[in-house]
Structure 1
Amino acid sequence: MNVFEAQETVALSIEEVFALSRRVLTGAGLSAPHAEAVARVITAGERDECASHGLYRLPGCVMTIRSGKLSPDAEPVITDASPALVRADAGHGYSLLAFERAAPLLAEKARAVGVAALVINNCFHFSALWPEIEQLTDMGVAALAMTPSHSWVAPAGGRRGLLGTNPIAFGWPRPGPHPYVFDFATSAIARGDMALHDIAGKPIPEGWGVDAEGRSTTNAREALDGAMLTFGGHKGSALSTMIELMAGPLIGDLTSRESMAFDDGAKAAPMHGELILAFDP
C-alpha cells in the first residue's frame, strides 16, 4: 500500500484551499502579505489540477520559512528603472509579492513602449509561473517568464547536476476569459512531479534521470538523489542554459549552481532572480 492509498481523501473547495494555505503559512511565521501571495499561487495549482504545484508545496514552504534563509516579512522595493524596465528587490523574501506589486507597472510600460522587462532579484522561488503570466494577460499584455532553480539537472551528456529545472512560461491574451498559456520545466519533468512518483512508489520513465553514479534509472528516489535530465536531449539543455544566463548573470543574480551553494544544505527553496518580459500585442 502506498502513501496515497493509506490516507483518507479530503475534499476542499478552492476557498478552503486558500484559507488552509494562508493559515499554515502565517502559522509558520510568514507575514500576512507574503502568505496571501503564496496562498494564491498554491490555490491556482489546485484549481488547475496540477498536484505538484498545489498543496503539496506547503511543507516545502514551511521548511523554507524555518530554514533561516528566507526573510519572512521582507518588503519588496520596486524601482521604475527606465521607460522599459522595472526592478523589484524581493529582499530575500518570496518572489510572489514582489511580482504582484510590480506587475501593473510592467504592463503599463509594455503598453507605452511595446515591450518592457521586470527583473526580480534576491527572491526565493518555488512556484508555477503560469499564475503570474495569467495576471499579465488579464492586463491585456503578452508575457514571457523564466527562472533558474537549484542545480538538480545534468546537461546533455552530463551525469551530475549543473542546471536547474529552469521553467519557462508564455501567455497571449485572447477574447474571452481564457488566454493562450504554457508553462513547463526544461527538465524532463518538474521536480515536484518526480517527488510525487517517489512518494507513490511509482517508477519513472527512462530519460527522466540518472542515479548518483550517472546510470540511467527508473527509480524516482535514485534520480532525485542523483540528477534529473533535460527534455529533448541537447535541445532542452540549450534552452535551459539560455534561461540560466538570461535569468541569472544578465539580471545580476545567481545561477542554479550558485543558488544551491547559497542553500548550503538547508533544503530551502531556490534563491535567485526572475526575468519577466511583457509585450503589447
Structure 2
Amino acid sequence: MNDAPGVRLTLDEVRALAFTTLRLVGLAPAHADAVADTMVAGERDGCASHGIYRLLVAAASIRAGTVAVDARPVVSDPAPALVRVDGGGGFAQLAFARGLPHLVDKARAHGIAALALTDVVHFAALWPEVEAVAAHGLVALAMTPSHAWVAPAGGTRPVFGTNPIAFGWPRPDGPPFVFDFATSAVARGEIELHRRAGTPVPDDWGYDASGCATTDAAAILDGAMRTFGGHKGSALATMVELLAGPLIGDLTSAESLARDGGRGGSPLGGELIVAIDPAGFLGAAAAVHLRRAEAVFDGIARQGARLPSARRHAARARSLRDGVVIPAALHADILRIGG
C-alpha cells in the first residue's frame, strides 16, 4: 500500500521482498535466507541504513563479482575454546549461523570462547550477532574491519574501515542490553542515505578528496570519513583492525579495499566474536549477580538517560504492530533490481 512518504509493508512483506530480490540476483537459498533475516531486523528496529536499503548494496556486490553466491561455510576447531568458520567468500550471515551453535557450546564448556569468521563479505550491522549470542544467556563482543574509508585522527587519508564494535549483555526480564557503533563518526550507510536524498551532512563527518572538511555527502564518499572522538576513536579503530584482521589471519581494511580492485563491492575480511558465560565465573551465583547488574541500568534510566538499544526496541514494537514505511524511491530502486 502506498502512503504519502513511501510504501508501507509488513515485516513478512519486507522479508519476501528481500529474499526474492536476492534470489533474482543469483544468491543461493541458504544465503538469501540468512541475509534477508538481517535486513528485516534492521528495518524492524528502525535502522534504515542497515535495513532493506542494503539490498542495493548486496546486489551491487553480487553483480560486481565480489561475493561467492553459493559459498559453503566450513567450520573448524583450532583450539578447545576457539571456533573458526571459513566463509569461502560468501556473505557473513550464513557463516555466523553455522558457527553460532559451536560458539555457544564452547563458551558454556570453558566459560569463554571466540568465533573467527574468515573470508566473509560484510555489509550489515553487528548487533544481530551479539543479540543472538546474548539470547543464549551469554555476554558477547563483536568487531570487524571493512574497506579503508576512514582517516586516522590527525590525518585526512583513509586507513581504517568504519570498524564497528558491538556488545551484548543478557538481562533477566527483557531484551538484552546491546550497543553497536562504528568507530567512524557515523556509519557509511548514513552518509550514503544523505547522498541519495541530496541533503548535507555535518561538517565533522569527513573530508573531500583534497583533505578539506565538507558537508557534501558525495564528496566524503569520494574522500575520507572521520573517526569519532578524535584520537580515542582512532585507537579503537586500530584495535579492531588488529583483532579482526591479522590476529585471525584475515585482511586489514586497506587490504580489503585493494582486493576489491575498484569493483565497488562490500568489504571482504574477518569478524571476531567473543562469548562469555557468566556461570563460568560465578557458577550457581550467576543469576544473583546478573540481578545486581540491573542496578546499573536503573541508575541510567532513572535520570532520563537513554540506554543504547532502547530506541531500537521501541521501534521493534511499533513495526511488529504497524509494519514499516519504505521510501518510495528506494522501493522503486529495489524493484528495478528484480527487473
1:182 pairs with 166, 179, 183, which one?
A: 179
> Could you say which residue in structure 2 is the equivalent of 1:146?
143
**Deviation by residue 1:195-241 (Cα, 9 ceiling, x = unmatched):** 11111122111211001100111111111111000000100000000
SS across alignment from 1:79: strand
C-alpha distance in 2 between matches for 1:176 and 1:65: 41
> Could you say which residue in structure 2 is the equivalent of 1:4?
none
Unaligned runs of 5+ in 1: 1-6
1:55 aligns with 2:52: yes
- Amino acid corresponding to residue 23 of structure 2 in structure 1: T
> Could you say which residue in structure 2 is the equivalent of 1:29?
26
C-alpha distance in 1 between matches for 2:66 and 2:191: 25
Alpha-carbon distance, 1:176 to partner:
2.8
- Amino acid corresponding to residue 246 of structure 1 in structure 2: L
SS across alignment from 1:121: strand
Alpha-carbon distance, 1:14 to partner:
0.8
Unaligned runs of 5+ in 2: 279-339
* Contact 2:146 2:269 (C-alpha < 8 Å) held by counterparts: yes
1:137 aligns with 2:134: yes
Q: Trace 1:261-276 onto structure 2 (pairs within 5 A).
A: 261-276=258-273
SS across alignment from 1:188: coil
Sequence identity (%): 59
SS across alignment from 1:11: strand
> Could you say which residue in structure 2 is the equivalent of 1:41?
38
**Aligned residue pairs, count:** 275
> Could you say which residue in structure 2 is the equivalent of 1:124?
121
Greater mean deviation of Cα atoms: 172-181 or 248-257? 172-181
- Amino acid corresponding to residue 137 of structure 1 in structure 2: A
C-alpha distance in 2 between matches for 1:13 and 1:168: 30
SS across alignment from 1:265: coil
Which structure exhibits the higher relative contact order, with contacts defined as CA atoms closer than 8 Å and separated by 6 or more residues? 2
SS across alignment from 2:175: coil
Q: CA RMSD in A?
A: 1.0
Q: TM-score, normalised by structure 2?
A: 0.80
Asked which structure has the greater CA Rg, the reply is: 2
2:91 pairs with 77, 91, 94, which one?
A: 94
C-alpha distance in 2 between matches for 1:69 and 1:209: 26
SS across alignment from 1:88: strand
> Could you say which residue in structure 1 is the equivalent of 2:77?
80
C-alpha distance in 1 between matches for 2:230 and 2:5: 40
> Could you say which residue in structure 1 is the equivalent of 2:233?
236
Higher helix fraction: Structure 1 or Structure 2? 2
Q: TM-score, normalised by structure 1?
A: 0.96
> Could you say which residue in structure 2 is the equivalent of 1:277?
274
C-alpha distance in 2 between matches for 1:164 and 1:122: 16
> Could you say which residue in structure 2 is the equivalent of 1:227?
224
C-alpha distance in 2 between matches for 1:71 and 1:115: 32
- Amino acid corresponding to residue 149 of structure 2 in structure 1: W
**Deviation by residue 1:5-36 (Cα, 9 ceiling, x = unmatched):** xx861101111111110000011000000000
| Structure 1 segments (4+ residues) deviating >4 Å | none
